[in-house]
């Protein structure tokens, strides 16, 4: 019931390609009203995706989650500006439905992320958490242990290219001091890690641990020690495999990330 209500709320907020907020008869966004609690308001994109739903379920108590589905492009009506009113952080899942592919996917993630961050920075958003993919690092020799500081090597696949473009956008906004950006490069997200039987390749992460990483990012920024995060941060989020291809050492140190589901020797 909780998930159904959340998705109904998301559908009411966003209908059509650029309708980014529900507006009442006076022309004011619902979100212009005074907040009813002191929880930080967090915008969650792609709330209809499986990962988006899991994040909404897990974060709904400590944070005021505002769902935002559909393409988030700026328009002359200022809908995206209204949607971001009062928002302090954005969790950018950026996972469109399966029907969005090819150039449309690149446009959705690339231009959509640029428009979202441009508007977020103008509205005073403090933190953007972008959920990227470790696939853009998979082009290196499989025998290498790839750190976060290595240059991404995406291939021509639109999914990889679009993640790479979105990461570049986050990096430039952070370097210009417009917003703090945390890129979490997720391994293949597995819903039921306990039943995983196909070995350690490709690198994977339990959905619960991916959610944990996002939650810890928000908690560090708002509650623990914001200074632990730089303006620009890239972290690998995967199962903790000793000697694994994509170490999670930095996420463990910076976020206190502790994956519960890891491969058994």
Whether 30 is covered by a domain: the verdict is: yes
pLDDT category at 227 given cuts 50, 70, 90 is confident
Q: What pLDDT does residue 194 have?
A: 59
Q: Which two tokens stand for residue 111?
A: 């231009």
Whether 93 is covered by a domain: the verdict is: yes
Q: What pLDDT does residue 40 have?
A: 97
Looking up residue 105, the CATH number of its domain turns out to be: 3.40.50.720
Q: What pLDDT does residue 13 have?
A: 46
Whether 87 is covered by a domain: the verdict is: yes
Distance of CA 108 to the CA centre of its chain: 14
Q: What pLDDT does residue 99 have?
A: 81
- pLDDT of 19 > 70? The answer is no
Whether 14 is covered by a domain: the verdict is: yes
Please tell me the total count of domains within the chain. 1
Outline where the chain has alpha helix (H): 2-13, 50-59, 79-83, 102-122, 158-175, 207-219, 249-255
* Mean pLDDT along residues 88-104: 92
Q: What pLDDT does residue 71 have?
A: 87
Whether 7 is covered by a domain: the verdict is: yes
Whole-structure pTM value: 0.85
Q: What pLDDT does residue 143 have?
A: 93
Residues 6+ apart with CB under 8 A from 70: 14, 15, 16, 17, 19, 20
Domain that holds residue 145: 2-255
Q: Tell me the pLDDT of the chain averaged across its residues.
A: 86
Whether 260 is covered by a domain: the verdict is: no
CA distance 228 to 68: 28
CA distance 45 to 118: 15
In the 8-state DSSP scheme, what is residue 123?
T
Whether 262 is covered by a domain: the verdict is: no
Whether 97 is covered by a domain: the verdict is: yes
Q: What pLDDT does residue 27 have?
A: 32
Higher pLDDT, 110 or 30: 110
CA distance 70 to 48: 9
């Amino acid at each position: 019931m909780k998930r159904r209500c959340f998705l109904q709320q998301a559908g009411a907020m966003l209908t059509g390609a650029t309708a980014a907020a529900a507006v009442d008869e006076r022309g004011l966004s619902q979100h212009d009203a005074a907040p009813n609690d002191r929880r930080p308001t967090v915008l969650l994109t792609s709330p209809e995706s499986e990962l988006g739903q899991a994040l909404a379920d897990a974060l709904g108590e400590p944070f005021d989650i505002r769902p935002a589905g559909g393409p988030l492009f700026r328009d002359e009506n200022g809908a995206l500006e209204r949607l971001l009113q009062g928002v302090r952080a954005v969790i950018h899942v950026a996972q469109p439905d399966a029907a969005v592919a090819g150039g449309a996917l690149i446009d959705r993630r690339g231009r959509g992320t640029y428009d979202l961050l441009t508007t977020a920075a103008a509205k005073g958003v403090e933190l953007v958490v972008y959920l990227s993919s470790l696939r853009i690092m998979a082009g290196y020799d499989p025998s290498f242990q790839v750190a976060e500081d290595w240059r991404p090597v995406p291939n021509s696949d639109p999914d990889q290219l679009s993640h790479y473009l979105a990461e570049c956008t986050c990096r430039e906004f952070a370097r210009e001091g417009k917003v703090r950006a945390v890129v979490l490069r997720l391994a293949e997200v597995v819903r039921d890690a306990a039943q995983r039987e196909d070995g350690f390749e490709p690198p994977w992460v339990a959905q619960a641990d991916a959610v944990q990483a996002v939650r810890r990012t928000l908690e560090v920024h708002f509650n623990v020690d914001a200074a632990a995060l730089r303006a620009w941060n890239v972290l690998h989020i995967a199962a903790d495999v000793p000697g694994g291809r994509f170490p999670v050492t930095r996420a463990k140190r910076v976020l206190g990330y502790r994956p519960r589901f890891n491969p058994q020797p």
